[in-house]
Homo-oligomer: A and B are copies of this chain.
Amino acid sequence: MKPTPTSPSEPILAFGAHPDDIEFGCGGVIARETRAGRAVHFVVCSRGEAGTNGTPTLRSAEARRAARLLGATLEFVRLDGDAQLEIRAAHSLKLAGIIRRVRPAAVLAPSLASNQHPDHYRLGQLVRDATRLARYGGLQALNARPAHAIGQLLFYAVSPDAEPPDLQPVLIDVSAPEIVAAWTAAMEAHVSQMKTRNYVDLQLARARVHGLRAGVAHAQPLWPNDPLVFDSLAAMTRAAARF
């Protein structure tokens, strides 16, 4: 069976450890996809109950509003709770069940760089395991739904420290004004998190620096888990990176 490019009708599935991780880490990419008509679904694995600012109720509402602004659907899933995530096979099985239900073309998850919030890289590992479990035929616990092989697992970085130091990213152009506007609005929806520092402004600065490398105004980096496969060189010969 030869692999084929996925159809635009297949959704994107994005996982976040806390209510604002997806928006800060890859919100521009999400806006880009939903504007192009692709369905995107968020799975958020805590309600930020360990955070310094905001209550779980407030932060859940902020997350729902941010997802709506980006054109994505959202669900919460309970694992071990904010700041206490552990690597457990049961968690991966639960996430694999969601993958089989949503049947995405691509999955987005926080990076595996270990020098960041431990919930982030542990969720990244759980999701990576889950994408494998989702495609094995013999798992009793997942029998309710047929196996599903995703097209690509892509990691995002919530902050500069979370960028994998020794891997080369792919850069997604998020420069269109309506994309920047939607992304900005989604980040600003997390009102409770804006007290100590202007993270919105900082993420836009970060996207400008990555844009510089891509030859565009704003770009967000993603790190593919597996080598990218192409049919020809055409996809790779776009004029780029010219500092």
Contacts and interface: CB of A to CB of B under 8 A. Distances in A.
A177 interface: no
Copies of this chain, tallied across the complex? 6
Given A118-B129, A209-B202, A233-B106, A171 B53 contact: no
A181 interface: no
A165 to B, nearest CB: 6
Interface stretch (A3-11, A60-68, A69-77, A183-191): A3-11
Interface string A105-137: 110000010111110000001001100110111
Helix, strand, loop or mixed for chain A's interface? Answer: loop
Interface string A23-36: 00000010011001
Contact of A209 (B205, B234, B238, B242): B205
Nearest to A107: B237
Interface in A131-184: 132-133, 135-139, 147, 149-152, 154, 158-161, 165-173
Given A92-B118, A151-B239, 17 more contacts: A2-B216, A3-B239, A8-B234, A38-B233, A51-B136, A51-B138, A82-B138, A106-B236, A106-B237, A170-B227, A171-B228, A201-B208, A202-B209, A202-B212, A206-B209, A214-B229, A216-B229
